[in-house]
Structure 1
Amino acid sequence: MPKLDLGQAPRKTGSIYPEPYAAQMEGRSSLRLGQLAGLTQFGVNIVTLEPKAVASLRHWHLREDEFAIVLTGALVLVEDEGETAMAPGDCAAWKAGAPNGHRFINRSDAPASFLIVGSKAADEVCTYSDVDLKLVLEGEKPRFTYHDGSDWTGPRDLAPKGETE
C-alpha cells in the first residue's frame, strides 16, 4: 500500500445524529483515512475538535472495539467514572459490549485532534448514555431508536443527564 496522501482523505463534518443532537457537533471534523485506503474491516479517522467542541454524544458500542490516541492539543475524556485530562500520546480503549459511555471534549482555546480506530461491524448497536437514543445499524443502514427499542421520533428530554458544559 502506498503512502496515504492526507490531502486526498474525505473530510466529514458534523454527525449523522438527528436534531437537536447534530447541532451539538459543530466544530467537529474528521479525516476518513480508512475510507481513503479502502479498508473494510476497521475504520481509522483523525478527528479534529475546534475550541469548545465535542467529538460525540457519550456512547458505547455493543459489537465494536474502539482505540484512541491524542495527537495534538488538550482534550478531556468523559466516561462513566468521571473525567480524565488527555494530552498528546495519551491513549484510551473501549471493549465492545462494555457499557462505559465515553466522549472527548475540547475545553481549551486551541484546536485538538485524536486518531480513532474502531471495528466496522455491519450490524451494530450504539447506545447514547446521557440521552434516550440508540443507533441501530442493520446491514450498515442506520436507524435511530429510544433506549427501549421503539422508533425515535424526537427527543423526549432535551436536558442531558449528569454532565454540564
Structure 2
Amino acid sequence: MTVINSKVANIGEMKLEHFEKGDTFESNSVRIGTLLGAKDLGYSYDVVPPGKRSCPFHSHRGEEEMFFIVKGSGTLRYGSETRKIREGDVICCPTGGPETAHQIVNDSDADLAYLSVSTKMAAEVCEYPDSNKIGAYGGNLRHLTRIEHDLDYWTDEVP
C-alpha cells in the first residue's frame, strides 16, 4: 500500500481483511482511519459479496455515519423503509433510535463496495432492532444485552 506522509492511501492498494459470520454476513474490509492516524473520524472501506451484508441492522445513539457507494448496487434498509442504492449514492445515518437503524444489503449479482465515515465517540450505545439487543461500548467495555432485560436504576443498590 502506498501511503504519502501517513495521511493518504489508495483503496485499490489496501490489503482487505476477510470477515464471515454464518450464511448472512460477509465482507472484505479495511479500517482506513486507523491506518492513517485519524483522530475524530473513523473511516472504512468494505466490499460485500453478492447476497451478503457486512453488519446487522443497527442504530447509533452517539455516532453519526455516512456511506458512499463506490461500486455496485444493493438495498438500503433504513428504519421501516427500504430503497435501492447504487454507485455514487451518499447515505446519511444520523444518531437516533430504531427509526434511524440502517443496513446495506448486497442483493445484486456483483460485489458492492462502499466507504463509510463516522464520528468517533468515547462511548456509544447501539440498538439492534432485528434481534432486540442493545450494545454499550466505551474503552474496554463491550456489553450487549436484550431490550427486555430492563433493570430499575436502584436495583441491588438499596439494602
Instruction: Give TM-score, length-normalised by structure 2.
Output: 0.79
- Residue 120, structure 1, aligned to residue 125, structure 2: no
Report SS of the residue matched to 1:63.
Answer: coil
Give the counterpart letter for 1:145 in structure 2: T
Q: CA deviation at 1:11?
A: 2.9
Unmatched 5+ residue regions in structure 1?
A: 15-21, 151-165
More strand by share: 2
In structure 1, distance between residues paired with 2:24 and 2:37: 26
Q: CA deviation at 1:28?
A: 1.4
Q: Identity, % of aligned pairs?
A: 23
Partner in structure 2 of residue 4 of structure 1: 9
Give the counterpart letter for 1:119 in structure 2: T
The runs of at least 4 consecutive aligned structure 1 residues that moved more than 4 Å come to none
Report SS of the residue matched to 1:27.
Answer: strand
In structure 2, distance between residues paired with 1:138 and 1:45: 19
What is the number of residues matched between the two proteins?
144
**What aligned pairs does 1:25-40 form with structure 2 within 5 A after superposition?**
25-40=24-39
Instruction: Give TM-score, length-normalised by structure 1.
Output: 0.77
Higher alpha-carbon deviation: 74-83 or 102-111 = 74-83
Unmatched 5+ residue regions in structure 2?
A: 151-159
- Residue 97, structure 1, aligned to residue 96, structure 2: yes
Q: Could you say which structure has the larger radius of gyration?
A: 2
Deviations 1:54-84 (A, max 9, x none): 1211110000000011110011001223211
Kindly report the root-mean-square deviation, in angstroms, between the aligned alpha carbons of the 2 structures: 2.2
Deviations 1:1-41 (A, max 9, x none): 44325445563624xxxxxxx42554212111101101121
Give the counterpart letter for 1:81 in structure 2: S
In structure 2, distance between residues paired with 1:69 and 1:5: 16
Give the counterpart letter for 1:77 in structure 2: L
